């Protein structure tokens, strides 16, 4: 019987080496180590042996079973690995594997606000005019009627470059002169959007960089009524048609007369609240009729041409519209803030 055991063991090992897939392995197991397998059948015959031979045969049998079991497990691992490799090579895309999520970006709140402003003025026939971020003193101040040593320059302390008289623009108003030089003698109807830079103490209300949308209209029959109509339409489109507007006299070197425009507070509807400082009004922009000196500097004869100009701060517009109380949030790159819009 020991010879039978050896023979069965050798045959089984050979058969196992030929089992090339999971189904063949299952068959092999059933036929060898299963309830009716060849080894199991041999084990049942142990009773036919003389009593003194039984322990030795039992030991041999257990060793054979153990060896076969281990050989089976090794073969099984090898076959399964080969099967998985073949499968992966066969289908390049495994639809059952979990996907990689893609990070989603979004538009910055100021970009969105700028686009709202473009859309409103675009509908009224304005075109977008780009002027450089780095500007000469001449375009940023002089031609806009800020002579050297004019006190209004104090409010716009700039960043200077190493080239004399070349600065980072403190407003996009310089684009007024550039647009006039480019379009003379045609009428002008442009908005000039972009980043501005001022040497300021950074606080909740002031930043060293911020955006501005300057507007300029020049033509033959432009009056203050055109200014009021255009800017009131802007306020209604931006904050809702029920908003009231008012113009207060102000001063800017490049407009005469100059005004600031307020809208009735949309939080308290004019009753007075913390945001409007209990006045019922919110200041949203500065404006005025283009100063004759500025028209002249742009190449237009102020006896024949008239114009109006305005300057809008998108940060201020967004702060009022969305109730943001600190201007530093816009450029602090805090995703918790940015994701809210
Ligand atoms: Zn209010």
Q: Is the dihedral of CA 316, 317, 323, 324 positive or negative?
A: negative
- pLDDT of 158 reads 85
CA 261 / ligand 1 centre spacing (Å)? 16
CA 324 / ligand 1 centre spacing (Å)? 14
d(CA 211, CA 208): 10
CA 276 / ligand 1 centre spacing (Å)? 4
List strand residue ranges (DSSP E) for the chain, in order. 127-128, 134-136, 166-168, 188-197, 209-219, 245-252, 255-264, 281-290, 306-312
CA 212 / ligand 1 centre spacing (Å)? 24
d(CA 149, CA 109): 37
Token digits of residue 159 = 């960043």
- Burial call 178-216: b when 16+ CB within 10 Å, e when fewer: bbbeebeeeebbbbbbbebbbeeeeeeeebebbbbbbbb
Pick from 1, 72, 62: nearest CA to 32: 72
- pLDDT of 50 reads 85
d(CA 195, CA 207): 12
Q: Which residues, other chains included, contact 181 with Cβ-Cβ below 8 Å and sequence gap of 6+?
A: 298, 299
Residue 204 phi/psi, 5-degree rounding, is -60, -20
**In sequence order, what are the beta bridge partners of 167?**
135, 160
CA 196 / ligand 1 centre spacing (Å)? 29
CA 242 / ligand 1 centre spacing (Å)? 15
The two counts, helices (H) then strands (E), for the chain are 11, 9
CA 225 / ligand 1 centre spacing (Å)? 27
- pLDDT of 211 reads 96
Those residues whose beta carbon sits under 5 angstroms from the ion ligand 1 are 265, 267-268, 273, 276
- pLDDT of 261 reads 96
CB 152 within 8 A of CB 146: yes
Omega cis (within 30) before 144: no
| pLDDT 10s digits, 246-277 | 999 999 999 999 999 999 988 888 888 887 88
| Mean predicted confidence (pLDDT) in 196-211 | 89
Residue 1 above 70 pLDDT? no
d(CA 68, CA 6): 12
CA 264 / ligand 1 centre spacing (Å)? 8
Model-wide pTM > 0.75 = no
CA 233 / ligand 1 centre spacing (Å)? 21
CA 320 / ligand 1 centre spacing (Å)? 10
| pLDDT 10s digits, 5-22 | 888 888 888 888 888 888
CA 198 / ligand 1 centre spacing (Å)? 29
- pLDDT of 88 reads 79
d(CA 140, CA 192): 13
- pLDDT of 147 reads 84
CA 327 / ligand 1 centre spacing (Å)? 19
| Mean predicted confidence (pLDDT) in 21-34 | 89
CA 255 / ligand 1 centre spacing (Å)? 29
CA 48 / ligand 1 centre spacing (Å)? 106
| pLDDT 10s digits, 45-79 | 888 888 888 888 888 888 888 998 999 999 999 88
CA 271 / ligand 1 centre spacing (Å)? 6
- pLDDT of 35 reads 87
Mean of all residue pLDDT scores within the chain: 90
Residue 215 above 70 pLDDT? yes
| Mean predicted confidence (pLDDT) in 312-318 | 93
CA 188 / ligand 1 centre spacing (Å)? 36
| pLDDT 10s digits, 138-173 | 999 999 998 888 777 777 788 889 999 899 999 999
- pLDDT of 219 reads 97
Percentage of the chain modeled with pLDDT above 70: 99
| Mean predicted confidence (pLDDT) in 198-225 | 93
Omega cis (within 30) before 98: no
CA 282 / ligand 1 centre spacing (Å)? 8
Percentage of the chain modeled with pLDDT above 90: 54
Residue 314 above 70 pLDDT? yes
CA 321 / ligand 1 centre spacing (Å)? 12
CA 245 / ligand 1 centre spacing (Å)? 14
d(CA 17, CA 291): 99
CA 93 / ligand 1 centre spacing (Å)? 59
Residue 229 above 70 pLDDT? yes
Residue 34 above 90 pLDDT? no
d(CA 131, CA 211): 13
- pLDDT of 209 reads 92
């Amino acid at each position: 019987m020991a010879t039978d055991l050896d023979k069965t063991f050798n045959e089984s090992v050979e058969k196992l080496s030929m089992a090339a897939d999971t189904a063949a392995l299952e068959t092999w197991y059933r036929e060898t180590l299963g309830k009716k397998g060849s080894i199991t059948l041999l084990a049942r015959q142990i009773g036919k042996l003389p009593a003194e031979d039984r322990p030795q045969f039992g030991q041999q049998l257990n060793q054979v079973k153990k060896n076969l079991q281990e050989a089976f497990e090794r073969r099984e691992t090898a076959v399964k690995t080969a099967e998985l490799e073949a499968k992966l090579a066969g289908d390049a895309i495994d639809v059952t594997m979990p996907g990689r999520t893609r990070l989603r970006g979004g538009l910055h709140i100021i970009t969105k606000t700028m686009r709202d402003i473009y859309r409103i003025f675009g509908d009224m026939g304005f075109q977008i005019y780009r002027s450089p971020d780095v500007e000469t003193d001449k375009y940023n101040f002089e031609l806009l009627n800020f002579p050297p040593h004019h006190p209004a320059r104090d409010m716009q302390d700039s960043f200077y470059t190493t080239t004399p008289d070349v600065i980072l623009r403190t407003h996009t108003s310089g684009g007024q002169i550039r647009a006039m030089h480019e379009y003379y003698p045609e009428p002008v109807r442009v908005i000039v959007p972009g980043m501005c830079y001022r040497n300021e103490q950074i606080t909740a209300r002031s930043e060293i960089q911020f955006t501005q949308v300057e507007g300029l209209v020049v033509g033959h029959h432009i009056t203050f009524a055109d200014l009021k109509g255009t800017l009131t339409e802007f306020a209604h489109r931006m904050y809702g048609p029920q908003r009231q507007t008012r113009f207060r006299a102000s001063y800017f070197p490049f407009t005469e007369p100059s005004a600031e425009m307020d809208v009735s507070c949309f939080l308290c509807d004019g009753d007075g609240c913390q945001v409007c400082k209990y006045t019922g009004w919110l200041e949203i922009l500065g404006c005025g009729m283009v100063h004759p000196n500025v028209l002249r500097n742009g190449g237009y004869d102020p006896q024949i041409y008239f114009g109006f100009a305005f300057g809008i701060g998108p940060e201020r517009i967004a702060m009022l519209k969305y109730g943001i109380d600190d201007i530093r949030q816009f450029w602090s790159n805090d995703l918790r803030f940015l994701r809210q819009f």
